[in-house]
Amino acid sequence: MRTVALPRIGTAAAWRTAARGLLAAQVPPEAVLWAWDSPAQIDLFGAEPAPVAPRGDVTVPKAFVALAENVCWHSDPERFARLYAFLWRLRRQPQLMVDRGDAQLATLRGMEKNVRRCAHKMTAFVRFRDLGEAGADGRRRFAAWFEPTHHTLEPTAPFFTRRFADMDWAIHTPDVTARFEGGQLSLHEGSPRPDLPEDGADELWGTYFRNIFNPARLKVKAMTSEMPRKYWKNLPEARHIPDLIANAEARAREMAEAAPTLPPVRAERILERLHAPGVLRGMTFDDLRKRAEAENRETQPGYGRIVLGEGPADARLMVVGEQPGDVEDREGRPFVGPAGQMFDTVAAEAGLERGAAYVTNAVKRFKFTLRGKRRIHQSPTSGDIEHARWWIAQELDLVQPKLILAMGGTAAETLTGSRKGILKRRGAVEETEYGPVFLTVHPSYLLRLPDAAAKAAETARFRDDLASVAKLVA
C-alpha cells in the first residue's frame, strides 16, 4: 500500500505529479491511499512513498487533464481516489473520455460541475470592502471574507487578478487566503473570519438592490436557486431580502390600485412645444442645411454629395423620388435632371403645381460607378436607404405634408417598408407612420421604356396618377 499526501495549496498540480508516477509504475488504484492536508497520516501507515515519473512519460486524453484539474478542488474526500480509478481504466480505453453514459465518468463530471459552479459563485459573490488607507505605492486596498463549498479559491484567484489589477486585495476563506499586492498573487494558510468594517458603498448597493427589484414580479424560487441561502450571510444586499418579499404584494397592489393622477401642468406645455413642426427632432431647416454642408466637406468614394429637397416649408404635398442623379449632384438641387424635367412636364399637364410642393429624394446622395469619365447610376441598397432615413424623416417632420407622393421602389421602401408590387399598388393611398402615402412609378421608368407606344401609355397612366394627387391636395 502506498500513501500519497497532497498539500492544501497546489493540490491539483501535486495530484497530477503523483498520478503520473503511479501510472508509470503501474500501481493499481486499490494499492493507493490518498491523504489531503494531513502529513500525520503518512507516519500512521508508514507506507512507501509514491514513485516519481518525469513529465511526458505518460499520456492521457487532454480532456481528462482539465477534468482532473477541476475535480481536485472538490470537497469529497474520495475525489483523488475516484480520479485515479478512472484514469486507470482510461489508460486502456481512451474512448471512455467521450462516453457520456459511463457511470464513473458521470460522477466525475458531476463533481466537476459542482466545482465549476462553486468557482463561478465565488466570482459572483465575493464582496470586497475598502480598507481605507491606501498602500505606500498609492494602490487602494480591499479585502473580502468568503466561505466556498469546495476548495475553489486557488483556481479562482487568477480571475480576480485579471479583473482587479490596479488595487491590492485579499480574499480570506477558512482554507486559504489569497493576497494580491503590488501586482503579485500569493496563497497562504486560511484564517478565521477577519473583521472587515462596512464602507459607505454597501449602503448604496443596498439602495440599488431594493429599487431594482420589481415587486409586481415576485419569484422567490428563481432567486434562491441561483443565489442559495448559504451565501446570504456574506452578501451585504441579502439583509434586505426578507423585507422586500414581505412587502412585495402590498406594494404591487398599491401600484395597481392607485388611481391615475392628473398630469402635472408642465406636461401639457412641454408636449405642445414638442409636437410643433420641427421641434420633435430638434432640427430646423437651417440646422439641416448646416449639417449637410458639414458632411459634404468630406467625400465618400462612389457617392455624391448630400442634396436636400426644396420647396415651401409648409407645402401640402411632399414629392419623394429615388436619389439625386448626375445633374442633381453637380447642381446641388433635386429634380433638375432628365427625370425631374419629365416630372415637371407631366405634372404641368396634370394640373399639379410643382412649385407648391416640397420635392426631395428618399436617399440623399448620388450613388455611382465610374466608367471612364462617366458616372453610372447605381440603385441604392437597403443599407443606403436605412442610412438615409434620418434625413427624409427630418424633412417630413419639418414640412408635415398632408400627402406624400412616393415615386418608385426606393421611395416606397423608405416610406411604406416595402418596394414590392408597385405597379399593383400605384394610384392608392397607404397609411404609414409618416402619414398618407400615394404610390406611383418613378419618372425615369418612363424614360427607359424603349417602345414608343408603351411609353405613351405609361406616361398617360403617370399623368392620371399625378392628376389624382392634385385633386387630393387641392
Instruction: Pick one of 31, 63, 134, 220: the residue that binds other proteins (CB under 8 A).
Output: 220
Nearest approach, Cβ of residue 145 and other proteins (Å): 13
Residue 281 sits at φ, ψ, to 5 deg, of: -90, 5
Q: Does 463 bind other proteins (CB under 8 A)?
A: no
Q: Which is nearer to other proteins, 85 or 449 (CB)?
A: 85
Q: Which of residues 61-120 bind other proteins (CB under 8 A)?
A: 95, 98-101, 103, 106, 120
Nearest approach, Cβ of residue 251 and other proteins (Å): 9
Q: Does 229 bind other proteins (CB under 8 A)?
A: no
Instruction: Pick one of 16, 116, 191, 213: the residue that binds other proteins (CB under 8 A).
Output: 213
Task: Find the radius of gyration of the CA atoms of the chain.
Answer: 38
Nearest approach, Cβ of residue 438 and other proteins (Å): 18
Separation CA 17–CA 24 (nearest Å): 11
Q: Does 285 bind other proteins (CB under 8 A)?
A: no
Q: Tell me, residue by residue from 193 to 212, as one string, x for binding to other proteins by CB under 8 A and - for no binding.
A: --------xxxxx-xxxxxx
- The C-alpha cell at 63 is 480532456
Find, among 12, 17, 153, 26, the residue nearest to 79 by Cα.
12
Q: Which is nearer to other proteins, 53 or 218 (CB)?
A: 218
Q: Does 434 bind other proteins (CB under 8 A)?
A: yes
Q: How far is CA 321 from the centre of its chain?
A: 36
Q: Which of residues 356-385 bind other proteins (CB under 8 A)?
A: 382-383
Nearest approach, Cβ of residue 93 and other proteins (Å): 10
Q: Tell me, residue by residue from 23 to 42, as one string, x for binding to other proteins by CB under 8 A and - for no binding.
A: --------------------
Nearest approach, Cβ of residue 314 and other proteins (Å): 21
Nearest approach, Cβ of residue 57 and other proteins (Å): 28
Nearest approach, Cβ of residue 355 and other proteins (Å): 28
Find, among 6, 63, 1, 51, the residue nearest to 24 by Cα.
51
Separation CA 239–CA 253 (nearest Å): 24
Nearest approach, Cβ of residue 46 and other proteins (Å): 41
Separation CA 460–CA 425 (nearest Å): 17
Instruction: Pick one of 25, 26, 390, 428: the residue that binds other proteins (CB under 8 A).
Output: 390
Residues 357/470, Cβ–Cβ less than 8 Å:
no
Nearest approach, Cβ of residue 56 and other proteins (Å): 28
Q: Which is nearer to other proteins, 128 or 335 (CB)?
A: 128
Nearest approach, Cβ of residue 238 and other proteins (Å): 8
Q: Which is nearer to other proteins, 145 or 445 (CB)?
A: 145
Residues 329/366, Cβ–Cβ less than 8 Å:
yes
Separation CA 231–CA 211 (nearest Å): 21
Nearest approach, Cβ of residue 182 and other proteins (Å): 9
Q: Does 347 bind other proteins (CB under 8 A)?
A: no
Q: Which is nearer to other proteins, 40 or 265 (CB)?
A: 265
Nearest approach, Cβ of residue 393 and other proteins (Å): 6
Instruction: Pick one of 161, 284, 341, 345: the residue that binds other proteins (CB under 8 A).
Output: 161
Q: Does 297 bind other proteins (CB under 8 A)?
A: no
CB neighbour burial string for 195-209, b if at least 16 within 10 angstroms, e if fewer = ebeeeeebeeeeeeb
Q: Could you tell me the sign of the dihedral formed by the alpha carbons of 61, 64, 66, 69, in that order?
A: negative
Residues 396/435, Cβ–Cβ less than 8 Å:
yes
Separation CA 463–CA 118 (nearest Å): 75
Q: Which stretch binds other proteins (CB under 8 A): 20-28, 243-251, 315-323, 441-449?
A: 243-251
Burial of 76 from C-beta contacts in 10 A (0-12 / 13-18 / 19+) = middle
Q: Which stretch binds other proteins (CB under 8 A): 4-12, 25-33, 39-47, 250-258?
A: 250-258
N-terminal to C-terminal alpha carbon distance within the chain: 105
Instruction: Pick one of 266, 373, 374, 424: the residue that binds other proteins (CB under 8 A).
Output: 266
Q: Which is nearer to other proteins, 62 or 374 (CB)?
A: 62
Separation CA 416–CA 401 (nearest Å): 16
DSSP 143: E
CB neighbour burial string for 148-161, b if at least 16 within 10 angstroms, e if fewer = bbbbbbbbbbeebe
Q: Does 293 bind other proteins (CB under 8 A)?
A: no
Strand order in the sheet with 129-130: 129-130, 141-145, 168-172, 176-181, 184-189
Residues 431/417, Cβ–Cβ less than 8 Å:
no
Instruction: Pick one of 33, 35, 196, 252: the residue that binds other proteins (CB under 8 A).
Output: 252
Q: Does 184 bind other proteins (CB under 8 A)?
A: no
Q: Does 281 bind other proteins (CB under 8 A)?
A: yes
Number of residues that bind other proteins (CB under 8 A): 86
Which amino acid type is present at position 149?
Answer: T
Residues 422/441, Cβ–Cβ less than 8 Å:
yes
Q: Does 335 bind other proteins (CB under 8 A)?
A: no
